[in-house]
């Protein structure tokens, strides 16, 4: 009877070791969970960026206002007959 108890105790200890530190154990689960969480956050950022780019593309395809705004802001262009004033701070 003592031998059975010792055998069961050793079996229980081995199972606990496998559960916590063995292959596909709890520690591996938490490592994979954190990697997946970081990947999900990165994907969400890229998804938001892509939505913004799609909105810009649609705006550029639809109207001339977006094209004019980009020409003014990014290229510094002005319309004919306009006077450009640059206010420089201290």
Residue 49 is predicted with a pLDDT of 97
Residue 46 is predicted with a pLDDT of 98
Residue 39 is predicted with a pLDDT of 98
Q: pLDDT tens digits for the chain (90 residues)?
A: 899 999 999 999 998 888 888 888 888 899 999 999 999 999 999 999 999 999 988 888 887 888 888 888 888 888 888 887 778 887
Indicate the SS3 state at residue 81: coil
Q: What is the pTM of this model?
A: 0.54
């Amino acid at each position: 009877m003592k031998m059975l108890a010792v055998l069961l105790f050793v079996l229980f200890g081995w199972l606990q070791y496998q559960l916590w530190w063995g292959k596909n154990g709890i520690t591996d689960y938490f490592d994979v969970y954190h990697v997946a969480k970081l990947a999900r956050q990165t994907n969400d950022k890229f998804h938001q960026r892509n939505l913004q780019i799609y909105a810009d593309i649609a705006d550029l395809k639809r109207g001339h206002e977006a094209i004019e705004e980009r020409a003014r802001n990014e290229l510094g262009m002005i319309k004919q007959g306009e006077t450009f004033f640059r206010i420089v701070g201290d």
